[in-house]
Amino acid sequence: DAKTTQPNSMESNEEEPVHLPCNHSTISGTDYIHWYRQLPSQGPEYVIHGLTSNVNNRMASLAIAEDRKSSTLILHRATLRDAAVYYCIRYGGGSNYKLTFGKGTLLTVNP
């Protein structure tokens, strides 16, 4: 049970922003929200993570709702290389060391 809900697929145009939503309404107070992506024929790749505050790094931004029941991964300017499956994962404290992947969102980027 991935315990997160994401759309199966989304489409974007190159150089436009992309907002990938994730619902995690049963998240616990100690769970972080992690995003990984998987390009075709590659292993998953870490993108970003956060707990409560919005986060930015060189790859993306993560906007977390105030009640933490949802979050949005933001790619500011999509490129063709961003076409991948994006996974939103609850990753918590205690013994929750393993990543539980759902099916993710398949992002298609149109030139």
Partner 1 sequence: GAGVSQTPSNKVTEKGKYVELRCDPISGHTALYWYRQSLGQGPEFLIYFQGTGAADDSGLPNDRFFAVRPEGSVSTLKIQRTERGDSAVYLCASSLNSGGLGTDTQYFGPGTRLTVL
Instruction: Find the binding residues for partner 1 in span 62-101 (CB under 8 A).
Output: 85, 87, 91-101
Residue selected from 5, 26, 30, 52 as contacting partner 1 according to rule CB under 8 A: 30
What is the contact mask toward partner 1 in residues 40 to 69, using x (rule: CB under 8 A)? -xxxxxx--x-x------------------
Measured in degrees and rounded to the nearest 5, phi and psi for residue 81 equal: -75, -10
Return d(Cα 51, Cα 64) in angstroms, integer.
8
Measured in degrees and rounded to the nearest 5, phi and psi for residue 99 equal: -85, 130
Return d(Cα 87, Cα 44) in angstroms, integer.
9
Residues near partner 1 (CB under 8 A): 2, 30-32, 41-46, 49, 51, 85, 87, 91-104
